[in-house]
Amino acid sequence: MKLQKYSVHGYVKAAIIGGKAERFMTRCVEEGIRLWRIERKNETTLICHIKLTDRKLLKKLLKESGCRIRFLERGGMPFLWVRLRKRLGILAGLCFFLFVLLILSNMVWRIDVQGADPKLEEEIRSLMKKDRLYVGALEFFIPETDRLESRLSSKLTRATWIGVSKKGTTYLVDVVQKKYPKPRKAQGPRHLVAAKQAIIHHWIVDRGQVAVESNQFVKPGQLLVLGRIGREDDPKFVSANGKVIGETWYRSETEIPLNSRLTIYTGKTYRQHNLRLWHISVPIWGFKKNLYKHADKEVIEKPVRFLIWELPFAYKQTVYREKEPVRRSLTEEEAMEEARETADNKLLDSLPDGAQIVSETIERKRIEDGKLKISSHYVVYEDIARPQPIDKHKEMEKLKKKKEADEN
């Protein structure tokens, strides 16, 4: 225990040689020099451990007692430091090697993307690079996997599901890509009929006979394009194809609050960097506290690894994002403009591709409970045609009955 106690200050194991060795021991105790493990080797020699002390004082006591000293062993930090200074290059090389090994153990070595085509994979890697995730990046500055999943899912519309996991120094990105059905070729002959009531505006027909006129009102299920060509006595049934653009009508109800409370981010951020040793957090950078009155706090903690072992300390980063509550007040004109824009976007989201809003009419406007409420009427041009399979047998019977009626 005494060796461990004095290993920081240093000690020596020495042989005290002389006829008055006991006198030397007594004088050491009087001067406060610590001695332990005292053994007599013979009549003129004592062996003991001495705490490292002033060299001049030791010489003085030896001279007074008429003894001489022979050092048998040196120990403790002072002697270790002397030995290390003689091998400073080796020590520096060893420290540098361990530091590089520590860095490499906390670096991303590989990123595997599974389930995505080459174009989508390139897009995923580009987005991950913006989040500081790439081969060679340090693990400490990469967001958590759940945040990576959320950011990728919000920006990639071609993926149904994205999962990000980490194993050692490798990140694995699993992707379930959306599979769009291939356009089917027309199966057998068909007509095109109206999907909803409308007034015919114009048409673009690739195949079949147009059965309507411009400005004609049609009901759902009414024949638009006939899937039959040729003479009635020798008809040929085809798959009618094309677009029939009709004028349709929609109504919508929209409300916008005139006064509301919002929370917006100012764009200011502050980061604190800490090193966590067991349960103790040691600040590295960012010592300010309570910098913002209102802020969101995000804590990112990354364990430090050395080869395959996880060390009992971690790098901890705390990000503060300033926000401030804002009260928004709209005039009636501003609320009207926002309500119309909201109603337009809502309608366009529900319409098929290629649909066009022709006109908008505000039928009713009122303010109730601090909200502007409007009722809108829309005129839209859209493709109203939908396919309807042809029963050849029934069509031939209809033609036969029509022919008989014409002859009579």
Question: Which of 399, 388, 396 lies closest to 223 in space, CA to CA?
Answer: 388
- One-letter identity of residue 46: L
Q: How far apart are the first and last CA of the chain?
A: 129
Position 143 scores a pLDDT of 86
Position 177 scores a pLDDT of 85
DSSP string, 315-327: EEEEEEEEEEEEE
Position 375 scores a pLDDT of 93
Phi and psi at residue 241, to the nearest 5°: -145, 140
Position 39 scores a pLDDT of 87
Please report, to the nearest 10 degrees, the dihedral formed by the alpha carbons of residues 351, 355, 359, 365 taken in order: 10
Domains and CATH numbers, the chain: 2-81 (3.30.70.260), 110-177 (3.10.20), 186-258+330-408 (no CATH), 260-327 (no CATH)
CB–CB of 120/175 below 8 Å? yes
Residues 6 or more apart whose Cβ sits within 8 Å of residue 385: 192, 193, 194, 195, 224, 225, 242, 243, 244
Q: Running DSSP on this structure, what letter comes out for residue 108?
A: -
Give the residues of the chain that fall short of pLDDT 70.
1-8, 180-187, 232, 403-408
CB–CB of 375/250 below 8 Å? no
Residues 6 or more apart whose Cβ sits within 8 Å of residue 121: 113
Determine the number of helices (DSSP H) and then strands (DSSP E) in the chain: 9, 22
Measured distance CA(19)–CA(334) in Å, rounded: 109
CB–CB of 300/317 below 8 Å? yes
Position 307 scores a pLDDT of 83
CB–CB of 369/256 below 8 Å? no
Measured distance CA(67)–CA(71) in Å, rounded: 13
Measured distance CA(102)–CA(309) in Å, rounded: 11
CB–CB of 231/281 below 8 Å? no
Measured distance CA(300)–CA(33) in Å, rounded: 53
Looking only at the bridges linking them, the beta strands covering 309-329 and 295-306 are antiparallel
Measured distance CA(226)–CA(345) in Å, rounded: 35
Number of neighbouring beta carbons within 10 Å of residue 15 = 16
pLDDT digits (tens, 9 = 90+) for 115-173: 888 888 999 999 999 988 999 998 888 888 888 998 898 888 888 889 999 888 899 99
Phi and psi at residue 362, to the nearest 5°: -85, 110
What distance separates the 2 farthest-apart alpha carbons in the chain? 158
Position 76 scores a pLDDT of 81
